[in-house]
Every structure is written in structure tokens, then in C-alpha cells.
Structure 1
Amino acid sequence: MSKCDNPDEILHRFLDLANQADRKGIVLFSNFLNMYEINLLHQNENLFYTGFSLYGGYQEAERQMVAFQPDALYYNWEYPISCVQVEPLNHRFSEDLSHRDILGALMHLGIDRSLIGDILIKDKSAYIFCVEKMADFIAKELYKIKHTQVMTQRVKPVDLHIEMQYRTEEGFIASNRLDAFVAQACKLSRAQAAQFILGENVFINGALVTNHNQGLAEGDVVSLRGHGKLRFEAFLNTTKKGRLHIRYAWYV
């Protein structure tokens, strides 16, 4: 599936894939979906003739493929997801490369964003999840990011032992409302946070949320477009003035 912001066109592509899978009796896959597309998929799941499942190459992946699966399959299947490990040729003189740097280098190669899944960075290495057909191209053509020469190799996602890393923060909010939490986490005013939410920028456990009055529960995963993703961990206590002392953890 190519990138498309029109919900009717996105849904049409989902339905077309599901219908083809049902008619041919085989599993068919999308490219990587963003949070908006995943939310749209879940909102309309009653329209599909087949079952479906989502996966992004590892547990907790944000960008995921959907696999439409007809009934009574007679063969085993796997998601067509590969991973390319990238690391500097010379660690001593290399730059600290960010997610944006790596994604920019991939876009410079002319690769469509929907062919790329999550990009994870650990120490000086990066792991690029991609559709299987792009892995060899990336491994061959990606040799420089900014001013840093890099080397690449294909690795199997199943062989990776990915442990998510977090940066824990604490703060105080007036009440258990999404706008209060977003204001605290993103360092915005309450009014700015409300507008941010209304602008369809907040996803809770993969679902788009535009109600700024909605509360949070411990364990909720919140994605904030342009700011990152975090997990709401706990209500720690209540101050004498009634403010809630909270803890949350950013994915890093």
C-alpha cells in the first residue's frame, strides 16, 4: 500500500487486499502502516471478509504490516519483514546518528516511507525494519549517513533480542484528563494541549483519541505525533491541593 491520507482511499485499499486474500485463498500483506492507518483498520474491522493480524518485526513495534488471512489456510506463512543493521565503519570518529538522520538517508535513496518500519537505535548501531524486498537494496546502497561512513548487514528479526529502553519522568497534573497529561508531558499550556489533541495527534494503545477529557489508566501506551511515545506508569499520590503526582516513561 502506498502512502495515502484520504481515509476512504486507505479503506478501499484494505478492502481490496482482504477481498483478494479471500478470493485467492492466500495471505496478503500491506506495507508498513502508520498509527492513523492502523486505527482506521481497527475502526472498520467488521467490513472485512477475512481475519487479519498486525506485526512490525518485534513486540511493541509502532509501524506494522497487516496480514489478511482467509479461512482454512493450507500452508504456513511469515510476515515479509527483514531487518538491516547499520553501524559506523569507525566508531571512534562517528557522529551520533538520530532516527531522523537515518530516515533522511533512506528517503534520499528514493525509498517510499511505507516500505520502512521502525528504526531502532542502540548505542552506535541502528536496526532498520523494512519489507523483505528492500533489504538487499538498503544493505547495498546505504553506505553514508550525514558525514559518517557506515557498514550494513542483514539480520533476522527473530534473532534480535530487543529490549525497549525508557526515560522515566514524574510530574503533577490537576486531574486525570488527557489535555492535562499532554500539557505536562509535552511542556505545553492546557489550551495548546487541547488543540494538539483535537488535531488528531494523540493515540492511546493504537487508537486515535480526540476527546481531551478522556482519562488515562496505568499501562496505557500514548503516542504523541512529533513528540514520541510513552507509557503511563502510575498515579503515585495526591497532593494536599488535590493535584495528582504521576510517573510516565518515554520510549528512547
Structure 2
Amino acid sequence: MSLYQHFRKEEQGFIDRVLGWKDQTEQTYAPKLTDFLDPRQVFIVQSIIGTTGEVKVSFEGGDSAERKRALIYPDYLHPSTDDFDLQLLEITYPSKFFTVEHKHVLGSLMGLGIKREKFGDIIFAGEKIYLVAAKEFASFFTMNLNQIGKHSVLVKEVDWKDYTPSNEKWKERFVTLSSLRLDVVLAGALTLSRQKAQLLIQAGKIKVNFKEEEQPSFECAQGDMISVRGFGRLRIGEIEGKSKKDKWRLTIFTMGG
């Protein structure tokens, strides 16, 4: 059976890259550090490389990170956090005078001409905003990210030990669903009617792996990150397969709302 059959057609290009990284590590016997990967990409890398054999993989992106860098390495290596070249940046702004949302920070970062893969999570913690960046781009952000929207901001490098993560945690739920269609998954995870879930999708309020998805029939898979405007986020964990009654058994993690 072809490896590609286990994944979506549009993921074939990424799968080829993962196979290339694995081959590179096997041939050079040296580690390969990737850019930041989204949760679905992390799942794909883990599935292809696994934890056995001469090539292994570890992931790091900070505490409870959604986006992580992968380190693909020969089995003689015992990687540490330093091997992932992560730099934590603190963004300060006059919070008494204006409100900053995730989309504003992301828009300003993308406006600098940097690819999304070069930085990880954007974290809100009280009146501070933290950005996890690839170390090689940290100085670029400190020098060039001078404003968010029309408001001036200050960006500086900080130590991980000075970072206080958010108290918000993922809530784990086990669900049984009739299918893995997006509308069915949303209805089951958010305790909505299927019709309400379909309306949210068709209204453009749903993103799957950070891309807008307007097809209720979209087939969800393990590792997918789904954001629902007004409801928060959910992530699909392990899919255990089907029950005797032909229902899908899976774990779903939810946050926010």
C-alpha cells in the first residue's frame, strides 16, 4: 500500500519533504532541524519517522505549543532544548489605550515579509504578548516589528525562565461520532446541532489547520487543528477506529470559547 494513501492528496508535497529530510539524515548521519510545523504536520512527521529505527524525531516549540520545530536525528544523538534554536520574544504595548488580538499580531508579522513557518506560537499572557521565533530570525523581529496596526510596540528577547505561561489548558473529551465529516465533528465537539455547525462552516467561521474551510463534508483526520470563531479551538487527538455499531471513536481536545 502506498504511503500517500494514509494522508490527504494535498499533503503529498509535504510528505515528500519529510521523506527527503529522513533520507538526508540517514545519508549524512547529521540532524535536520525544520521550520515551525502546524499540529497536522507534526502528526505527519511523527507518523512517517516514528520512534524506532536509526532515524528519530523530537518536537519543541515552548510550553504547550501548537506550532513546533522538528529535529530529525540519528539515534546516537540525545537532543536537548537548545538544539531547536528557539528564541522567546516579549512584545510590550500601551495596553491601557488599545486592545491587541491574535489576528493583529499575526497580520503585522506577515507584513514584514517573513514566512509563517519562521515563527511559532503567539501567546497572550495578561498584558504581555510572547512570540516564539526561530533564533536566526529573532534579531530581525526585534529590529523590524515596531508597530501593530497603528500603534507602536517594543520587542525584546527574554529568557524562557522569565516566561509565565497562560493558565488556559486543553480539555480532553472522548466522543463517538457517526462520521469524521467536519460538520459532524463540530456538532459533537461543541454540542451543537449539525445544522448549526453547517451554518458556521458556510459562514466562513471555521479554519482547519489555519486555513478557512467552507465544505461541511471535509473529512477530518488525526492531528487536525480546528478554530471556530466565537467558540475557541479544538484539536483531534487519537482516532481509535470504529465501534461495533460502526461509530468512530476518538479523542477531542478543546480550548477557549
TM-score (norm 1): 0.68
Shift in CA distance, 192/53, structure 1 to aligned 2, threshold 3 Å: farther
What SS class does the counterpart of residue 224 from structure 1 fall into?
A: strand
Q: How far off is 1:129 after superposition?
A: 0.8
Q: Please give the alpha-carbon distance, in whole angstroms, between the structure 2 residues aligned to 1:158 and 1:79.
A: 16
In the alignment, which residue of structure 2 is the partner of 1:69? 73
Taking only aligned residues, the RMSD between alpha carbons, in angstroms, comes to 3.4
Structure 1 unaligned regions, length at least 5: 169-174, 209-222, 233-247
Shift in CA distance, 187/24, structure 1 to aligned 2, threshold 3 Å: same
Q: Which residue of 10, 13, 18 maps to 2:17?
A: 13
Q: How far off is 1:183 after superposition?
A: 2.3
Structure 2 unaligned regions, length at least 5: 1-8, 202-214, 237-252
* Residues 56 and 73, structure 2, Cα contact 8 Å, conserved in 1: yes
In the alignment, which residue of structure 1 is the partner of 2:58? 53
Shift in CA distance, 181/34, structure 1 to aligned 2, threshold 3 Å: closer
TM-score (norm 2): 0.67
Shift in CA distance, 167/80, structure 1 to aligned 2, threshold 3 Å: closer
Counterparts of residues 49-128 of structure 1 (less than 5 Å): 50-58=55-63, 60-73=64-77, 78-88=83-93, 90-93=94-97, 95-128=98-131
Q: How far off is 1:188 after superposition?
A: 5.2
In the alignment, which residue of structure 2 is the partner of 1:129? 132
What SS class does the counterpart of residue 83 from structure 1 fall into?
A: strand
In the alignment, which residue of structure 2 is the partner of 1:199? 218
Q: Please give the alpha-carbon distance, in whole angstroms, between the structure 2 residues aligned to 1:51 and 1:129.
A: 24
Percentage of pairs with the same residue: 23
Q: Please give the alpha-carbon distance, in whole angstroms, between the structure 2 residues aligned to 1:79 and 1:25.
A: 17
* Residues 71 and 84, structure 2, Cα contact 8 Å, conserved in 1: yes
What SS class does the counterpart of residue 85 from structure 1 fall into?
A: strand
Counterparts of residues 23-38 of structure 1 (less than 5 Å): 23-38=27-42
Q: Please give the alpha-carbon distance, in whole angstroms, between the structure 2 residues aligned to 1:34 and 1:51.
A: 19
Q: Please give the alpha-carbon distance, in whole angstroms, between the structure 2 residues aligned to 1:135 and 1:141.
A: 10
